[in-house]
Structure 1
Amino acid sequence: MATNEKVKTQLANRANGQAPTPTPEQTIAAYMKKMAPRFAEVLPKHMDIDRMTRIALTTIRTNPKLLEASVPSLLGAIMQAAQLGLEPGLVGHCYLVPFKNGKTGQTEVQFIIGYKGMIDLARRSGNIESIYAHAVYENDTFEYEYGLHPKLVHKPAMTDRGEFIGAYAVAHFKDGGYQFEFMPKEEIEKRRNRSKTANGGPWVTDYEEMAKKTVVRHMWKYLPISIEIQQAAAQDEVIRKDVTSEPEFVDDVIDISTEIEEQSVEVEGEEAQ
């Protein structure tokens, strides 16, 4: 919704014969429309460019911080999603996470594959009958063991499940075989802390989903998956400077959500003095 100041500015521009200044959202929408043919070229056959555009714009509207990021970086993240055939946002296939690049001081966008995205990529291999993951809580009935006769039993508690203690993933192959992996919370946290956006993005908003994704990703090397799919899954937690550049990992990141929290604490402290 336009603010009073924006409306006044637009009216003044019209009075002076000037075109209204486009909002950041309108600017992004215009770029998306212009880049639609290029996105369409890389989309898998099962995806539609109109749907991809709508989902991307909805994701951007629900996270205003994305509007503050560099446009090439944002379009690069959308291109990454398009190439992998993953839908960003609420579906949980992938996330577009704004962060402040510690080297450039500029807000850019990181592409992160979600739990459902990892599952979707695994299924594309054609050799997996089913694949899934579940979170485990302290009051659940849970047993597992490896060795010559692997065993996994999980009965979720019907009421108070207690604290999260870990997650496991199971894959059933079309030849009748299967593979499962369990990862305790301590190990999940170690892997989370290696992430450049450990304190923001989906690790904060969708912790359980990211925990399940972590286990699926760990199990990846044991699955009958093609080189192409393995390479696709490797394009996780990357950024692209623009739609034509190659994905790259970020070495020096200042997470925006963390920065905002720190600034909030400083302001509250100043007010208390």
Structure 2
Amino acid sequence: MSNALQVITNEIYGVRNSFEAVTVDRSINFEREAGFAIQILSNNDYALTVAMNNRQSVIDAVTNISAIGISLNPAKKLAYLVPRDKKICLDISYMGLLDLAIASGSIMWGQAELVYSADDFRLNGFDKPPAHERNPFAKDRGEVVGVYVVAKTHSGDYLTSTMTIDEVNDIRNRSSAWKAYLEKKKSCPWVTDPGEMAKKTVIKRAYKTWPKTDRLDKAIHFLNTDGEEGLESIRQQNAAAAGCPEDVLSAWCAKAKTAPNADALSKVWTDGLAVIKPTKDMRAYNTFKETVSVRGTELKQKPADANTIDVRAKEVSREPGSDDADLQADFQRQMAKEQAA
């Protein structure tokens, strides 16, 4: 194993506590997902280089696997780790979105397909699946004219959503990823996988009519913000409104309050900060910092481990403050961007 891969392996396994703290699906196993992540990065020298230069992005991507509840299993093709814009990003496929919709109970099953000019496609009403007749072995089915997704609900209804290719391209043209491609020639999925992106686009429109689930909402919000697939104006609004979820903050504060000693508290602070800091939620950060500081003071007053606690308590009390300036600067930059817009 190369030195770089060993470093990244250590970073990934260091995420275990954060991973388990935010999990929404107990079938998503840390050991398996860590193995998949290491396998992906070890097979791509460029991705490994990006990971080494931006280790926090690896931590964020692996944590998001658990927070969204999706697997990197290459056999399933639901999600991937990809190098993009000098960071490692979690990318969710259209199959991943359908899998989340099914696993979270929103729909029984779903299917998304492209429609070509040589195909025969017709809708059969609101409560019946569409008819799509085509020759899948034809060498030339013409150009893509549209895309659709059909989903079956638990009540037995069929919900079909369609988009013309012009509607899809209109969404593409207003996405931040496509704009970056036009301005900087920076490759993006709209360039490398246009068919897959068309299917994702129609699913993201259709899901608004499906029964709501938090996991699917979170996945699509993630794709529209961190994945840069959403409209630029919506992406900025969502990024500004995003913060640390209350259940995540509560979980880390609870860990801090029950830390048995200063070493354990320092570990809670480090792991919790890795989850909370990327949200740029100053309120959550200050709440967590205060909880850690209070617990540090309580532990320091215990006589049993006075020497150890004194050293670790100083580290804990010093570490939170050292990040305040960075977080404040991030907020100021965000506000400046919003005012400029």
Q: Is the 8 A contact 1:95 1:202 kept in 2?
A: no
- Aligned pair 1:32/2:12, yes or no? yes
Q: How does 1:137-216 map to 2 (within 5 A)?
A: 137-144=116-123, 152-157=130-135, 158-160=137-139, 161-198=141-178, 199=181, 200-216=187-203
CA distance in 2, matches of 1:67, 1:225: 37
CA distance in 2, matches of 1:227, 1:82: 13
What is the DSSP-based 3-state SS (H/G/I as helix, E as strand, rest coil) of the residue aligned with 2:105? coil
Larger helix fraction of residues: 2
CA distance in 2, matches of 1:62, 1:237: 27
Look up the match of 1:136. Answer: 115
- Aligned pair 1:94/2:94, yes or no? no
Q: Once the 2 structures are TM-superposed, how far is the Cα of residue 189 of structure 1 from its aligned partner?
A: 1.9
Look up the match of 2:97. Answer: 118
Q: Once the 2 structures are TM-superposed, how far is the Cα of residue 201 of structure 1 from its aligned partner?
A: 4.2
Calculate the TM-score normalised by the size of structure 1.
0.70
Q: Check 1:57–1:208 CA distance in 2 against 1; reply closer, same or farther (3 A cut).
A: same
Q: Deviation string for 1:15-60 (max 9, x for gaps)?
A: xxxxxxx632221011112222332333321121121011111222
Look up the match of 2:45. Answer: 64
Gaps of 5+ in 1: 2-21, 101-106, 253-273
Q: What letter matches 2:189 in structure 1?
A: P
Q: Deviation string for 1:203-246 (max 9, x for gaps)?
A: 34433222111111110110012345423432224449954334
Q: Is the 8 A contact 1:111 1:238 kept in 2?
A: no
Look up the match of 2:205. Answer: 218
Look up the match of 1:75. Answer: 59
Q: Is the 8 A contact 2:129 2:160 kept in 1?
A: no
CA distance in 2, matches of 1:210, 1:131: 16
Q: Once the 2 structures are TM-superposed, how far is the Cα of residue 149 of structure 1 from its aligned partner?
A: 8.0
Q: What letter matches 1:73 in structure 2?
A: S
Calculate the TM-score normalised by the size of structure 2.
0.57
Q: Is the 8 A contact 1:166 1:184 kept in 2?
A: yes
Larger strand fraction of residues: 1
Q: Check 1:246–1:170 CA distance in 2 against 1; reply closer, same or farther (3 A cut).
A: farther
Q: Once the 2 structures are TM-superposed, how far is the Cα of residue 89 of structure 1 from its aligned partner?
A: 7.1
CA distance in 2, matches of 1:54, 1:149: 43
Q: Which has the higher contact order (CA 8 A, sep 6+)?
A: 1
Q: Is the 8 A contact 1:110 1:238 kept in 2?
A: no
Q: Once the 2 structures are TM-superposed, how far is the Cα of residue 174 of structure 1 from its aligned partner?
A: 1.4
Q: Check 1:244–1:183 CA distance in 2 against 1; reply closer, same or farther (3 A cut).
A: same
Q: Once the 2 structures are TM-superposed, how far is the Cα of residue 85 of structure 1 from its aligned partner?
A: 1.6
- Choose 1 or 2 for highest CA Rg: 2
Look up the match of 1:41. Answer: 21
Q: Is the 8 A contact 1:134 1:212 kept in 2?
A: yes
CA distance in 1, matches of 2:72, 2:57: 15
Q: What letter matches 1:212 in structure 2?
A: K
Q: Is the 8 A contact 1:142 1:155 kept in 2?
A: yes
Root-mean-square deviation (Å): 3.1
Gaps of 5+ in 2: 182-186, 228-272, 281-332, 335-341
Percent same amino acid among aligned pairs? 28
How many residues align structurally? 223
Q: Check 1:152–1:247 CA distance in 2 against 1; reply closer, same or farther (3 A cut).
A: farther
